[in-house]
Structure 1
Amino acid sequence: MGGQPVGPGMFKAALADTPREAFNWRLALSVVCFGLMGAARGLDEGLIGTTVTQKSFVSEYNLKTSVTMSKTELASKVGNITAMVQIGSVGGALIAFIACDKLGRIWATRQLCLIWIVGVIIYITSAGSYGQVLAGRFIMGLGIGQTTVVAPAYLAEAAPRSIRGLCICIFSGSVYLGIMLGYFANWGTSIHIANNTSRQWIDATILHLIFAGLILILSLFALESPRWLAKVGKTEKALLNMCKLRQLPAEHPYVQAEMLDIHDQLEREMEATHGSGFWGPFKELFILPRNRYAILLGLGCQLMGQWSGANSITIYAPQFFAILGTTGQSEKLFATAIFGVVKFVSALICAFFLVDFIGRKRSLSIGIIIQCVSVLYIAIYLTAVPTISSGEVQSTIAKHAGTGAIVFIYFSGVGWALGWNSIQYLIGAEIFPLRVRSLGVSLIMCFHFVNQYGNSKAVPLMLIDGSPGLSPKGTFWFFFAVTLLGLGFVWFFLPETAGKSLEGMDELFGLKWTLIGRKGAELTKGKGSVSESMVLGRGVKEIEAGYEGEDRVEDVEKR
């Protein structure tokens, strides 16, 4: 047991001991339903960043400098429109904690879809009203913000631990599906619909209604989380749903091990906080040292990821391509659309081949290094070639260097998709105990949207030459510094969680804080849960071969 490898080895062991029946259509349906929620954020980021550059939108809402509007005032107005969903999402993330815990994951999904749809309708019927645009986007945010709490929490709870990273990364991959579709929708409407009609941006925005409706319909066929059912005392229903999700009988050792771990953790959590009630989760989250470390870890990941620059580039991609010399509205939107494809493909690669197989920490480190090198090149380029004007630079060498900078914009997207974008949803859903999972993820995602709002507001101002801006080159030097700092943060503080059961995280976070990130996975392998010890012991398959009926259950309980 002591020689069991961590990372790929642990993943292979967990995968080998996961019954084939656990990979079934019911699990796939749940993963698709909740995974597609990532497209909510992605659609908004992909659409709004390009919508505010559409000629029809610019004309309808007067988004251009004039005698009465300076560059700073224009940047502020664009930032208000862009960031209003992030403001609403802060409230949405808070609502999600109550909805998840009181209504369950399924009904929380249904109500957020309805809020999302109402917000979109208000937004697209604004007809030139700046106030209605802000109101509609705020209400959209109340729905969209909930997706980042509800979906990762459900996926973490429903997925077998051997593919938990893959299932949660379907959500982060769907963020880029939304971004890619949003980019292409605006590029297509800019070509095929006249610039003088609001249909140009409204037709693209209807994608929101399509995805919200699809998720709402799929939720009618999805199963409620067995862990949430156990948490609210519906033990028989929890066992029934676990059996359906795994397509295994109740007496199967794999199901029994999972249920034993769930009930054991719930009992320990109740003892630690001396009861339940509304304030029970708050006490547990902030009083217990293991949970304090988890919440600080989650907040740190959000801070480092959001200010590393990649998300800013996603939202303001056309502006960044213009800075690096791409001219023409259609050309900028096309370059932006291809950027969306690159990020989407990278997110899928991370989900299917990296995050479970090589581990969260290695995948994130690789992504940060790619991102760091990319923003460093762009910062050096903008420092060395400061005189970019209307897409033209001073020499052939500088033009080639500018092409290289555009390529590195794409590489930065690859790094972000492999690294921070996947981890910012995955790690928060994994590290908290069941009773405080919704609250912990909710607080982390509130911080996420506060940071994103700050980003959306700050970046247009940061790009301005002179006060109050940093200029384009200063902005990229800032991104480089934060990315480098993030690499050190990951090495010291972030533990490897691949292959560990959700209930086994208590053992990991119970270590001394200086050991959790650097040596936690190695020191706690096979400890903390029945299901994990089965993988490192004789395994499910061996138990199946030697036991039948009640003997199986008794053996699992002894373990």
Structure 2
Amino acid sequence: MPNIFTQNLGETPRQALNWRLGYAILCFGLMGASRGIDEGLISGTVQQKAFISKYRLNDPLLSESERANLLGNITAMVQIGSIGGALLAFLITDKIGRLWATRQLCLIWIAGIIIFITSNGRIGQVYAGRFIAGLGIGQTAVVAPTYLAEISPRAIRGLCICAFSGSVYLGIMLSYFSSWGSALHISSHSQNQWIVPTSLHLMFAGIILLLSIGVHESPRFLASKGKKEEATATMSKIRNLPEDHPYVQTEMLDIFEQVEREKEATMGLGWIGPLKELFMTPSNRYRIMLGLMSQLLAQWSGANSITIYAPTFFAMLGTTGQSEKLFATAIFGVVKLVASLVCALFLVDMLGRKRALTYGIILQFLSMLYVAIYLAIVPEITEHFQPMGNAKRAGTAAIVAIYISGVGWALGWNSIQYLINAEIFPLRVRALGSSMVMCFHFANQYGNSKAVPSMLLETAMKPQGTFFFFAAVTLLGLIWMWFFLPETAGKSLEAMDEMFNLPWYVIGRKGAALTASAGHAENYMRDDVEKVIQHEVSHDEQVTSSEK
């Protein structure tokens, strides 16, 4: 009887779901926790009394804008480092492979966190440590989704890549609860109140480093280096099928043909070849537009701001007391983790990318709009004013709306921004395109995390204006998605070339339907095995004649 792991496989052999694939997904999927841990921990760390006093966040000599600037610098330094990390991933991922890129980023990540937790009041060392950690963390958003997209059976590619976006929430949840627990059980006079939760970084980096020992390199990377036999053997192991099985053969045929086309297109251009191909080819320019716009609209929709500054937002909505704020934040982490798991297992591949994103954006928009209206109507909550009656019930509903926005984010932008980035680029420019998009991702995340404390000030947009802004960006994202984002569910990575070669005004609305039968893998999935085998024979004859 089919279950949630097999019902969407279609004609994909059931052997493709095996322990090797699961192990690889575990190793590379866990890398998403790096970002979740940092976003979740820093929101609690800057609320811990020990950290506040040690790093002068409560210094009476600081003005409100200076305090917001200091808080923004501490919070956003990882995002600045992550921009460099995404660039570094481009430089080395296609040189040393996905596996060794994973190992070196774990070491950089560990080094940065050690520098951070040994700062002992030196704010410059805090900046340096968090920047270096960002160099490692930033690489995960390129290396992990790229690897997961390259080894996943196309029918469940969305599920596999969502292991990365889902583990972001695992990291967030664990970090929220660790901050809450340390606030309860560790003295506010001890620096361990924030150092102990921060050790989560070291644990996860070490686990991923050890897990990488048993993972196979990406067959697509091996093929790009001319190691065809090794690539086929590796794909055979990952799929748990013989090398001569039609499913393996059709996958490898697509990969080898794309590698050959890309080599011919960039022959003699050296390192500048991928750059030229990315920006001079209309289909690739459309891909870049999709990647950059999805990041811009996702990052300014407000979801990451809520994650990073969750205790502050819950305080605005009536949650008082340090422990209560951190507990409400921890529950927010649970909601987002559960939502991400449900979306990955049931929705992203079954609904398709566009429909899942549509539902997610609508939930997020309605939630942001409600919170904005609530903040505009109810006076600011302080120790001297607590809402009563209907106002209090409306505040409870606003807290629920924050939780619902997390569900919408998990279903929509959080899954799609990594999934689309990993899926849409052809092999030769995949690392370059993904790195460029993730640089833009972290640049926007830096700007967002740096700007939000200032946006909330009474002299700026105020809390209600900030949430109206988030709602407007979310609505704009819905309109953009409807016109420009194509459906990529169920397409092989190589078969997307045909879709993106369509006229730009057709791709988003009709691209998937017009290219439903593109690619050898698609032919196999339609049981058109005879056609695939005939193509293989023809291809082999062409190779033989050219060698003669």
Length-normalised TM-score, structure 2: 0.95
1:531 maps to what in 2?
Answer: 521
Q: Deviations over 1:35-58 (max 9, x none)?
A: 000000000000001100100100
1:354 aligns with 2:341: no
Distance 1:489 1:71 in 2: 37
Residue 145 of structure 2 aligns with an amino acid whose one-letter code is P
1:478 aligned to which of 469, 477, 493: 469
- 1:174-253, aligned counterparts within 5 Å? 174-253=167-246
Deviation at residue 390 of structure 1 after TM alignment: 3.0
Distance 1:226 1:133 in 2: 40
CA distance 1:14–1:265, change in 2 (3 Å): farther
2:454 maps to what in 1?
Answer: 461
Question: What secondary structure, in the 3-state scheme, does the structure 1 residue paired with 2:214 have?
Answer: coil
Structure 1 unaligned blocks of 5 or more: 1-10
1:15 aligned to which of 9, 13, 16: 9
Residue 150 of structure 2 aligns with an amino acid whose one-letter code is E
- 1:248-263, aligned counterparts within 5 Å? 248-263=241-256
Deviation at residue 555 of structure 1 after TM alignment: 9.2
- 1:117-196, aligned counterparts within 5 Å? 117-196=110-189
Q: Deviations over 1:169-219 (max 9, x none)?
A: 000000000000000000000001001000011000001000000000010
Length-normalised TM-score, structure 1: 0.93
1:8 maps to what in 2?
Answer: none
Deviation at residue 15 of structure 1 after TM alignment: 1.6
Residue 290 of structure 2 aligns with an amino acid whose one-letter code is L
2:478 aligned to which of 479, 487, 495: 487
- 1:41-440, aligned counterparts within 5 Å? 41-66=35-60, 68-275=61-268, 277-390=270-383, 392-440=385-433
Deviation at residue 534 of structure 1 after TM alignment: 1.9
2:27 aligned to which of 25, 28, 33: 33
* 8 Å CA contact 2:183, 2:193 repeated in 1: yes
Distance 2:454 2:294 in 1: 24
CA distance 1:391–1:378, change in 2 (3 Å): farther
Question: What secondary structure, in the 3-state scheme, does the structure 1 residue paired with 2:351 have?
Answer: coil
Deviation at residue 396 of structure 1 after TM alignment: 1.2
Deviation at residue 266 of structure 1 after TM alignment: 1.3
* 8 Å CA contact 2:316, 2:380 repeated in 1: no
Distance 1:87 1:49 in 2: 17
Deviation at residue 277 of structure 1 after TM alignment: 1.8
Residue 531 of structure 1 aligns with an amino acid whose one-letter code is A
Distance 1:471 1:342 in 2: 27
Distance 1:551 1:502 in 2: 22
Residue 512 of structure 2 aligns with an amino acid whose one-letter code is A
Residue 51 of structure 1 aligns with an amino acid whose one-letter code is T
Residue 90 of structure 2 aligns with an amino acid whose one-letter code is F
Question: What secondary structure, in the 3-state scheme, does the structure 1 residue paired with 2:349 have?
Answer: coil
Residue 371 of structure 2 aligns with an amino acid whose one-letter code is I
Distance 2:536 2:89 in 1: 36
CA RMSD of aligned residues (A): 1.9
CA distance 1:391–1:330, change in 2 (3 Å): farther
Question: What secondary structure, in the 3-state scheme, does the structure 1 residue paired with 2:350 have?
Answer: coil
Residue 492 of structure 1 aligns with an amino acid whose one-letter code is F
Distance 1:348 1:13 in 2: 17
CA distance 1:507–1:73, change in 2 (3 Å): same
CA distance 1:500–1:391, change in 2 (3 Å): farther
Residue 161 of structure 1 aligns with an amino acid whose one-letter code is R
1:520 aligns with 2:511: yes
